[in-house]
Amino acid sequence: MCKAGPNARRGDFRLLLCLVVLASAVPVPAATPIIDYRDRFHPVVGEAGMVVSQEALASAVGARILERGGNAVDAAVAVGFALAVTLPQAGNLGGGGFMLVHLAEGDRTVAIDYREVAPRAAHRDLFVGDDGEVDTQLARFSHRAAGVPGTVAGLTHALEHYGSLPLAEVLAPAIALAEEGIEVTRPLAFSLAHARPRLRRSAAAAGYYLRPDGSAPQEGDLLRQSDLARTLGRIAADGRAAFYEGGIAELIVTEMAAHDGLITAADLADYRVVEREPVWGSYRGYRVAAMPPPSSGGVHLVQMLNILEGWELAELGHNSAAYLHRLIEVMRRAYADRSRYLGDPDFVAVPAELTAKAYAARLRKTIDLRRATPSSAVAPGLEIPEESPQTTHFSVWDRQGNVVSNTYTLNFSYGSGIAVAGAGFLLNNEMDDFSAQPGAPNAYGLLGGEANAIAPRKRPLSSMTPAMLFKDGQPVLATGSPGGPVIITAVLQTLLNVVDFGMNVAEASAQPRIHHQWQPDEVYHESGVSPDTLQLLRGMGHHMVPSRRVLGRTQSIASDGARYYGANDTRWPGGAAVAPEPASP
C-alpha cells in the first residue's frame, strides 16, 4: 500500500502521508528517551552533545571542549582533570578508575583499566597485625593504604589513543581552576567540614584544604591550589612521564620513604594502563557493555540482568514487593559469587560462566518467589558505614556519537586523607579494596576470599561500573555511579527503570533504590519505598533496613541519536548536566 515505487516522486503527497502514518504506527520502544510532559523529573536536553558530572564547573569545562570541536574523549579527559581540582573528595590524580569509550567510527567499545596496583613490596598479610587481626587503620589511613595511582596514566592514555586535542589544551581549564582558585560551594564546605579531622592529620593535606587555623573553609571562601596547578602544568608539559618518572614521581617517593609507605620509583615507572574487552550482555533486545575485572561491576550487572530477564518485571509494578523480592534475591546470589570468584584477571581466572544465560537460568530456579532465601550465615555488625564515601562518575556524549562513561576514585572521600607534600594531591586508600584476610570485611562490609588477596602488582577488586546500553547497534544510554558495592545495584536499577519501566533518564535516576550484598543479610532501602511494600517484604523474610546514606549518585546520558538527555542525580547538590551550545551556522 505504501510502496515508494519507481513512480514515487519528491512531493508525492500520498507517499508522504503513508510515511507519516507508518511512522506514527511504529511502536516507540520503552526506552526511547523522549520527553513526556507527564513525567515528574526531566533531563537537560542538548542538541550538540552532553556532559554530566558531580560538579558544575567540571561539567562546564567538558561542554566548552565539545564546543571547541573536541570529541567526547577530549571532553572527558578535561573533566577528569578538572574534577581533581573542583571535587577534591573524589576527583583525583592520586587514585584510579575505569573508562568505557564507545567510538562511533568503527563501532568499537573499549574498556580502559587504570585501576591502582599494589606496590611490589606488598604481600598477602600486609595489614594483618601481630594479634592476627586486620589493622584497619593501616589499611585505610596510612601511606601503606595507597596503591600505585593510575589516573594520570589512564587519562593521558585515553587522550593519546582516542582524543583529538593536545594534552596541554585539555589540561588548561584545570590548571586555571587550581591557579586562580575556586569559590567553595556549600556542598564542598560540607564535605571538607566532615573530613577535617582526617585532613588535619596530614600536614600537607591540612595546608591544601583547610584554613591556616585548621578550620574547614566556609562557603564563599576561595580555594587556591598552587601546588596542584604546578603538578598539572608539569603533566601538560611532559605527559604521563612527569608523574611516573619525573618531578612528581620524586615527590611521591619522598613522601612514601618518609612515612613507611611502600611505593617506589620502580613501582611508578612500571605502572601500566590495560585496555580490556568490555563485559557484554544482552537484555530484552538491548546490548549492555560494562567494566570487566578487576571490576566486579560488569560481570554482576550482566549476571543480574540475565536472571531478571526470565520474569516480566513491568507487569509486577515498579518497586512493588514482588519486584523488589526478585531484585533482592538476584543481588544476593550475585554478591555471593563476587565474594567467591572475583579478583584481578591477571592473577585469577574469573569463570566466564558467571555471565552466561544458562548459569542465570540455574540460579533463577533456586529463587523461591514467595520467601527470602537466608544468606548462608548472618554476620552481625557488618553494616555498610554511615560515612558517605565518595567516588565520582561522569558521562560525556559528542554529536559524532562517541560516548565516554568514566568512574574514578580515591576510595574514601579524600582517600586516606594524606596528601603528597609539594605535589598538591591526595593519596588513595584503595589497598583496602583487597580482602586483607578471608572473612574480614573491608570498609564496605564486603567479604572477599583468596581471589582478591593482596599480591605484589595486583589490582584490588572494584565495584565501579561505567556502563552503556545499545539498541540496534546504537548507544542509547551511558551511566555509572559512586557507592562502593552500591554502585552495581544503583546502575542495575537505573537500567531496569529505563528498559522495563520506560522511564526517561532523569525519572530513572530519581526513583528510590534498594541495595543488598549477600552479607550482611540486610536489605538497605532509601526513603520513598512504600511502608506497605516494606511490610510485605518483611513478611517474606527480608531484613529491611533504612539506609543511612543515599544509594548511589548516577551521572547519566541518554540519546535517541538526535538529542542528548543529561541527568545529574539529585542525591548530591552541585553537579550538573551541561549541553554545549550548538555551533552557529
d(CA 508, CA 554): 10
Interacting residue with ligand DON among 109, 411, 519, 559 (CB under 6 A): 411
Single-letter code of the amino acid located at 493: Q
Q: Which stretch binds ligand DON (CB under 6 A): 5-13, 450-458, 460-468, 519-527?
A: 460-468
Nearest CA among 542, 215, 230, 522 for reference residue 372: 542
User: Of residues 361-400, which lie at the interface with ligand DON (CB under 6 A)?
Assistant: 389-391
- Beta carbon nearer to ligand DON, 146 or 229: 146
- Beta carbon nearer to ligand DON, 232 or 431: 431
Q: Which stretch binds ligand DON (CB under 6 A): 5-13, 182-190, 325-333, 462-470?
A: 462-470
483 near ligand DON (CB under 6 A): yes
User: Of residues 247-286, which lie at the interface with ligand DON (CB under 6 A)?
Assistant: none
The distance of closest approach from Cβ of residue 175 to ligand DON in the complex, given in angstroms and rounded to an integer, is: 27
- Beta carbon nearer to ligand DON, 49 or 147: 147
Please list, in sequence order, all residues whose beta carbon lies within 8 angstroms of the beta carbon of residue 16, skipping any fewer than 6 positions away: none
Interacting residue with ligand DON among 424, 482, 575, 580 (CB under 6 A): 482
147 near ligand DON (CB under 6 A): no
Residue 342 CA neighbour count, 13 Å, CB half = 28
- Beta carbon nearer to ligand DON, 255 or 432: 432
Interacting residue with ligand DON among 267, 433, 507, 569 (CB under 6 A): 433
- Beta carbon nearer to ligand DON, 62 or 389: 389
409 near ligand DON (CB under 6 A): yes
Nearest CA among 437, 386, 448 for reference residue 412: 386
Q: Per the structure block, which three cell numbers stand in for 440?
A: 574480614
Interacting residue with ligand DON among 172, 177, 464, 505 (CB under 6 A): 464
Interacting residue with ligand DON among 53, 109, 202, 463 (CB under 6 A): 463
User: Of residues 487-506, which lie at the interface with ligand DON (CB under 6 A)?
Assistant: 487
Q: Which stretch binds ligand DON (CB under 6 A): 61-69, 139-147, 461-469, 574-582?
A: 461-469
- Beta carbon nearer to ligand DON, 462 or 511: 462
Single-letter code of the amino acid located at 172: A
Nearest CA among 490, 468, 466 for reference residue 552: 490
Q: Of 109, 355, 391, 465, which residue is the catalytic one?
A: 391
d(CA 414, CA 430): 11
CA angle 464, 468, 473 (to 5 degrees): 155
d(CA 119, CA 139): 14
Neighbouring CB atoms inside 10 A of 318's CB total 16
Q: Please report which residue ranges of 432-514 form alpha helices under DSSP H.
A: 486-499, 505-510
484 near ligand DON (CB under 6 A): yes
Q: Which stretch binds ligand DON (CB under 6 A): 127-135, 198-206, 300-308, 480-488?
A: 480-488
Name the CA radius of gyration of the chain, rounded. Answer: 24
Q: Per the structure block, which three cell numbers stand in for 366?
A: 533456586
The distance of closest approach from Cβ of residue 272 to ligand DON in the complex, given in angstroms and rounded to an integer, is: 18
The distance of closest approach from Cβ of residue 528 to ligand DON in the complex, given in angstroms and rounded to an integer, is: 20
- Beta carbon nearer to ligand DON, 308 or 464: 464
Please list, in sequence order, all residues whose beta carbon lies within 8 angstroms of the beta carbon of residue 514, skipping any fewer than 6 positions away: 324, 327, 328, 489, 493, 523, 524, 525, 526, 529, 551
575 near ligand DON (CB under 6 A): no
The distance of closest approach from Cβ of residue 220 to ligand DON in the complex, given in angstroms and rounded to an integer, is: 26
- Beta carbon nearer to ligand DON, 91 or 401: 91
Beta strands, E only, 464-573: 467-471, 474-479, 514-515, 523-525, 544-546, 555-559, 564-568
d(CA 297, CA 290): 7
Active site includes 391?
yes
Single-letter code of the amino acid located at 102: H
Annotated active-site positions, please? 391
Q: Which residues bind ligand DON (CB under 6 A)?
A: 389-391, 409, 411, 430, 433, 462-464, 482-484, 487
